[in-house]
Amino acid sequence: MKPTQSIISRYKITQSKNHYENFTVGTLVLGKDLREAIITLYAFARLGDDIADEGNKSKQQRTKEIRYLNNHLKKIEFNQKINDGYFKILQKLYIKYKFKINNLYRFINAFNQDINYKQHARFSGLIRYCDDAANPAGELILSLVKQDNKENILKSNAICTALALINFAQGVVEDYEKGRIYFPKEEMKKFNLNIEDIQQRNFTSQWVKYKKYWVKRNYQILQRGLGLGEAIKGKLGIEIQMIEHAALLLLKRMERNNCNLFISPPKINTLDWIFIFLKVALRSL
Protein backbone atom coordinates (compact mmCIF):
# COMPACT_ATOMS: atom_id res chain seq x y z
CA MET A 1 0.00 0.00 0.00
CA LYS A 2 1.25 3.49 -0.80
CA PRO A 3 2.36 5.49 2.27
CA THR A 4 -0.15 8.19 1.31
CA GLN A 5 -3.16 5.85 1.08
CA SER A 6 -4.41 6.63 4.57
CA ILE A 7 -4.65 10.37 3.95
CA ILE A 8 -6.66 10.23 0.74
CA SER A 9 -9.81 11.77 2.09
CA ARG A 10 -11.48 15.12 1.79
CA TYR A 11 -9.29 16.72 4.44
CA LYS A 12 -6.32 14.43 3.90
CA ILE A 13 -5.44 14.21 7.60
CA THR A 14 -7.06 10.94 8.64
CA GLN A 15 -3.95 9.78 10.47
CA SER A 16 -3.59 12.97 12.44
CA LYS A 17 -6.87 12.73 14.31
CA ASN A 18 -5.36 10.54 17.00
CA HIS A 19 -2.67 13.10 17.75
CA TYR A 20 -3.09 15.92 20.24
CA GLU A 21 -2.21 19.26 18.69
CA ASN A 22 -1.86 22.58 20.53
CA PHE A 23 -3.12 24.52 17.60
CA THR A 24 -5.95 24.03 15.17
CA VAL A 25 -4.97 23.37 11.58
CA GLY A 26 -6.84 25.73 9.26
CA THR A 27 -9.39 26.96 11.79
CA LEU A 28 -12.79 28.29 10.83
CA VAL A 29 -11.56 31.89 10.73
CA LEU A 30 -9.80 31.11 7.45
CA GLY A 31 -11.44 31.02 4.05
CA LYS A 32 -12.16 27.66 2.41
CA ASP A 33 -9.36 27.75 -0.21
CA LEU A 34 -6.65 28.82 2.21
CA ARG A 35 -7.86 26.41 4.87
CA GLU A 36 -7.75 23.45 2.49
CA ALA A 37 -4.32 24.49 1.19
CA ILE A 38 -2.96 24.61 4.75
CA ILE A 39 -4.51 21.25 5.60
CA THR A 40 -3.01 19.67 2.48
CA LEU A 41 0.45 20.88 3.46
CA TYR A 42 -0.13 19.87 7.07
CA ALA A 43 -1.01 16.38 5.87
CA PHE A 44 2.49 16.05 4.41
CA ALA A 45 4.09 16.90 7.75
CA ARG A 46 1.69 14.66 9.67
CA LEU A 47 2.23 11.75 7.29
CA GLY A 48 6.01 11.99 7.55
CA ASP A 49 5.81 12.15 11.34
CA ASP A 50 3.65 9.04 11.42
CA ILE A 51 5.99 7.14 9.10
CA ALA A 52 8.95 8.05 11.32
CA ASP A 53 7.18 7.52 14.66
CA GLU A 54 4.18 5.22 14.61
CA GLY A 55 3.72 1.47 14.44
CA ASN A 56 6.27 -1.33 14.49
CA LYS A 57 7.94 -0.84 11.13
CA SER A 58 11.65 -1.44 10.75
CA LYS A 59 14.04 1.47 10.25
CA GLN A 60 14.58 0.21 6.69
CA GLN A 61 10.85 0.30 5.91
CA ARG A 62 10.44 3.77 7.42
CA THR A 63 13.39 5.05 5.39
CA LYS A 64 11.91 3.53 2.23
CA GLU A 65 8.58 5.27 2.78
CA ILE A 66 10.23 8.63 3.44
CA ARG A 67 12.19 8.14 0.23
CA TYR A 68 8.84 7.65 -1.53
CA LEU A 69 7.74 11.08 -0.28
CA ASN A 70 11.04 12.63 -1.33
CA ASN A 71 10.85 11.13 -4.83
CA HIS A 72 7.36 12.52 -5.32
CA LEU A 73 8.48 15.96 -4.23
CA LYS A 74 11.07 15.78 -7.01
CA LYS A 75 8.31 14.89 -9.48
CA ILE A 76 6.39 17.97 -8.36
CA GLU A 77 9.48 20.16 -8.56
CA PHE A 78 10.28 19.06 -12.11
CA ASN A 79 6.65 18.92 -13.27
CA GLN A 80 6.63 15.19 -13.93
CA LYS A 81 3.61 12.92 -14.17
CA ILE A 82 2.26 11.72 -10.82
CA ASN A 83 -0.12 8.82 -10.17
CA ASP A 84 -0.33 9.05 -6.39
CA GLY A 85 -3.64 10.68 -5.41
CA TYR A 86 -2.33 12.83 -2.56
CA PHE A 87 0.68 14.10 -4.50
CA LYS A 88 -1.56 14.98 -7.43
CA ILE A 89 -3.39 17.33 -5.05
CA LEU A 90 -0.11 18.69 -3.71
CA GLN A 91 1.17 19.25 -7.26
CA LYS A 92 -1.91 21.33 -8.13
CA LEU A 93 -1.35 23.33 -4.96
CA TYR A 94 2.28 23.94 -5.93
CA ILE A 95 1.25 25.16 -9.38
CA LYS A 96 -1.42 27.44 -7.89
CA TYR A 97 0.55 29.01 -5.03
CA LYS A 98 4.19 28.63 -6.16
CA PHE A 99 5.26 27.87 -2.57
CA LYS A 100 8.95 27.11 -1.92
CA ILE A 101 9.19 23.34 -2.19
CA ASN A 102 12.52 23.44 -0.36
CA ASN A 103 10.48 23.78 2.82
CA LEU A 104 9.01 20.33 2.23
CA TYR A 105 12.50 18.93 1.67
CA ARG A 106 13.44 20.37 5.07
CA PHE A 107 10.62 18.30 6.55
CA ILE A 108 12.17 15.26 4.85
CA ASN A 109 15.45 16.04 6.63
CA ALA A 110 13.60 16.10 9.96
CA PHE A 111 11.80 12.83 9.24
CA ASN A 112 15.12 11.12 8.55
CA GLN A 113 16.55 12.55 11.77
CA ASP A 114 13.57 11.09 13.63
CA ILE A 115 14.16 7.65 12.12
CA ASN A 116 17.85 7.79 13.03
CA TYR A 117 17.22 9.55 16.32
CA LYS A 118 20.06 10.58 18.63
CA GLN A 119 19.57 12.75 21.71
CA HIS A 120 20.97 16.22 21.07
CA ALA A 121 24.12 17.01 22.99
CA ARG A 122 23.38 20.74 23.19
CA PHE A 123 20.43 23.07 22.85
CA SER A 124 21.91 24.49 19.65
CA GLY A 125 21.45 21.08 18.01
CA LEU A 126 17.82 21.00 19.06
CA ILE A 127 17.29 24.44 17.56
CA ARG A 128 18.78 23.25 14.27
CA TYR A 129 16.38 20.31 14.35
CA CYS A 130 13.44 22.70 14.89
CA ASP A 131 14.60 24.66 11.86
CA ASP A 132 13.78 21.61 9.72
CA ALA A 133 10.97 20.04 11.75
CA ALA A 134 8.90 23.12 12.66
CA ASN A 135 9.92 26.34 10.93
CA PRO A 136 9.04 25.30 7.36
CA ALA A 137 5.36 25.12 8.39
CA GLY A 138 5.18 28.85 9.06
CA GLU A 139 7.17 29.74 5.96
CA LEU A 140 4.86 27.65 3.79
CA ILE A 141 1.75 29.30 5.20
CA LEU A 142 3.19 32.77 4.71
CA SER A 143 4.05 31.88 1.12
CA LEU A 144 0.42 30.97 0.42
CA VAL A 145 -0.54 34.62 0.98
CA LYS A 146 2.68 36.11 -0.47
CA GLN A 147 3.77 37.45 2.91
CA ASP A 148 7.03 35.49 3.19
CA ASN A 149 9.39 38.46 3.36
CA LYS A 150 12.54 38.30 5.49
CA GLU A 151 11.09 40.05 8.56
CA ASN A 152 7.95 37.92 8.62
CA ILE A 153 9.96 34.72 8.18
CA LEU A 154 12.19 35.61 11.14
CA LYS A 155 9.12 36.17 13.32
CA SER A 156 7.43 33.05 12.01
CA ASN A 157 10.51 30.95 12.71
CA ALA A 158 10.63 32.24 16.28
CA ILE A 159 6.98 31.31 16.82
CA CYS A 160 7.31 27.88 15.22
CA THR A 161 10.44 27.05 17.19
CA ALA A 162 8.73 28.16 20.42
CA LEU A 163 5.72 25.97 19.59
CA ALA A 164 7.98 22.98 18.96
CA LEU A 165 9.73 23.50 22.30
CA ILE A 166 6.36 23.73 24.03
CA ASN A 167 5.37 20.44 22.40
CA PHE A 168 8.58 18.77 23.56
CA ALA A 169 7.86 19.80 27.14
CA GLN A 170 4.26 18.63 26.89
CA GLY A 171 5.18 15.30 25.33
CA VAL A 172 8.07 14.21 27.55
CA VAL A 173 6.47 10.93 28.59
CA GLU A 174 5.08 10.07 25.15
CA ASP A 175 8.42 10.77 23.50
CA TYR A 176 10.28 8.78 26.15
CA GLU A 177 8.07 5.78 25.42
CA LYS A 178 9.13 6.07 21.77
CA GLY A 179 12.77 6.08 22.81
CA ARG A 180 13.31 9.82 22.48
CA ILE A 181 14.35 12.57 24.86
CA TYR A 182 14.43 16.07 23.41
CA PHE A 183 16.05 17.70 26.43
CA PRO A 184 19.77 18.12 25.54
CA LYS A 185 22.32 15.92 27.33
CA GLU A 186 24.36 18.91 28.43
CA GLU A 187 21.39 20.50 30.21
CA MET A 188 20.24 17.25 31.79
CA LYS A 189 23.70 16.87 33.28
CA LYS A 190 23.79 20.50 34.43
CA PHE A 191 20.45 20.20 36.25
CA ASN A 192 21.20 16.70 37.56
CA LEU A 193 18.18 15.15 35.83
CA ASN A 194 17.59 11.40 35.80
CA ILE A 195 15.98 9.69 32.82
CA GLU A 196 14.46 7.11 35.17
CA ASP A 197 12.30 9.85 36.70
CA ILE A 198 10.37 10.10 33.43
CA GLN A 199 9.55 6.41 33.46
CA GLN A 200 8.50 6.59 37.11
CA ARG A 201 6.61 9.88 36.64
CA ASN A 202 8.75 11.34 39.42
CA PHE A 203 8.75 15.09 38.82
CA THR A 204 11.49 16.02 41.29
CA SER A 205 12.61 19.47 42.44
CA GLN A 206 15.43 19.28 39.88
CA TRP A 207 12.88 18.81 37.12
CA VAL A 208 10.85 21.75 38.47
CA LYS A 209 13.95 23.98 38.28
CA TYR A 210 14.67 22.82 34.75
CA LYS A 211 11.06 23.36 33.70
CA LYS A 212 11.26 26.99 34.86
CA TYR A 213 14.53 27.43 32.97
CA TRP A 214 12.99 25.84 29.85
CA VAL A 215 9.88 28.05 30.03
CA LYS A 216 11.86 31.26 30.58
CA ARG A 217 14.00 30.59 27.53
CA ASN A 218 10.92 29.62 25.56
CA TYR A 219 9.32 32.97 26.43
CA GLN A 220 12.40 34.73 25.10
CA ILE A 221 12.22 32.85 21.80
CA LEU A 222 8.49 33.43 21.43
CA GLN A 223 8.86 37.15 22.17
CA ARG A 224 10.93 37.53 18.99
CA GLY A 225 7.94 36.41 16.95
CA LEU A 226 5.08 38.23 18.68
CA GLY A 227 3.39 40.82 16.49
CA LEU A 228 3.46 38.72 13.33
CA GLY A 229 -0.30 38.26 13.48
CA GLU A 230 -0.89 42.01 13.56
CA ALA A 231 1.50 42.47 10.63
CA ILE A 232 -0.43 40.00 8.46
CA LYS A 233 -3.71 41.38 7.16
CA GLY A 234 -6.96 39.48 6.91
CA LYS A 235 -8.13 36.19 8.38
CA LEU A 236 -4.68 34.60 8.45
CA GLY A 237 -3.50 37.46 10.65
CA ILE A 238 -6.30 36.69 13.10
CA GLU A 239 -5.36 33.01 13.05
CA ILE A 240 -1.70 33.83 13.82
CA GLN A 241 -2.71 36.18 16.64
CA MET A 242 -4.75 33.35 18.14
CA ILE A 243 -1.72 31.06 17.96
CA GLU A 244 0.44 33.69 19.66
CA HIS A 245 -2.08 34.05 22.52
CA ALA A 246 -2.39 30.26 22.84
CA ALA A 247 1.38 29.85 23.08
CA LEU A 248 1.58 32.50 25.80
CA LEU A 249 -1.26 30.81 27.70
CA LEU A 250 0.47 27.43 27.57
CA LEU A 251 3.74 28.87 28.84
CA LYS A 252 1.91 30.67 31.64
CA ARG A 253 0.30 27.40 32.72
CA MET A 254 3.54 25.49 32.33
CA GLU A 255 5.48 27.78 34.66
CA ARG A 256 3.05 27.26 37.55
CA ASN A 257 4.57 25.41 40.49
CA ASN A 258 1.84 22.75 40.40
CA CYS A 259 2.38 21.94 36.70
CA ASN A 260 3.75 18.41 36.50
CA LEU A 261 4.95 17.74 32.95
CA PHE A 262 5.03 13.99 33.53
CA ILE A 263 1.43 13.65 34.72
CA SER A 264 -0.62 16.68 33.62
CA PRO A 265 1.11 18.86 31.02
CA PRO A 266 -0.90 21.96 30.06
CA LYS A 267 -3.16 21.85 27.04
CA ILE A 268 -5.52 24.13 25.13
CA ASN A 269 -9.20 23.17 25.20
CA THR A 270 -12.24 24.34 23.26
CA LEU A 271 -13.24 26.91 25.86
CA ASP A 272 -9.73 28.37 25.75
CA TRP A 273 -10.01 28.77 21.99
CA ILE A 274 -13.35 30.57 22.34
CA PHE A 275 -11.91 33.08 24.82
CA ILE A 276 -8.79 33.55 22.68
CA PHE A 277 -10.87 34.17 19.57
CA LEU A 278 -13.05 36.71 21.38
CA LYS A 279 -10.00 38.49 22.76
CA VAL A 280 -8.38 38.75 19.32
CA ALA A 281 -11.67 39.70 17.62
CA LEU A 282 -12.33 42.52 20.09
CA ARG A 283 -8.83 43.89 19.59
CA SER A 284 -9.36 43.82 15.83
CA LEU A 285 -12.47 46.00 15.96
Q: What is the pLDDT of residue 282?
A: 84
| pLDDT grade for 17, boundaries at 50, 70 and 90 | very low
Q: Quick: pLDDT tens for 61-100.
A: 999 999 999 999 999 999 999 999 999 999 999 999 999 9
**Euclidean distance between CA atoms 237 and 145, whole angstroms:** 11
- 106-131 pLDDT, tens per residue? 999 999 999 999 999 999 999 999 99
Closest CA to 40 of 3, 66, 11, 70: 11
The DSSP annotation for 115-132 comes to HT----SSHHHHHHHHHH
SS3 content of the chain, % helix, strand, coil (to 5): 70, 0, 30
Q: Considering the entire predicted model, what is its pTM? A: 0.90
d(CA 147, CA 270): 29
- Quickly state the pLDDT bin for 33 (edges 50, 70, 90): confident
Buried b (16+ CB within 10 A) or exposed e, 232-241: beebbbbbbb
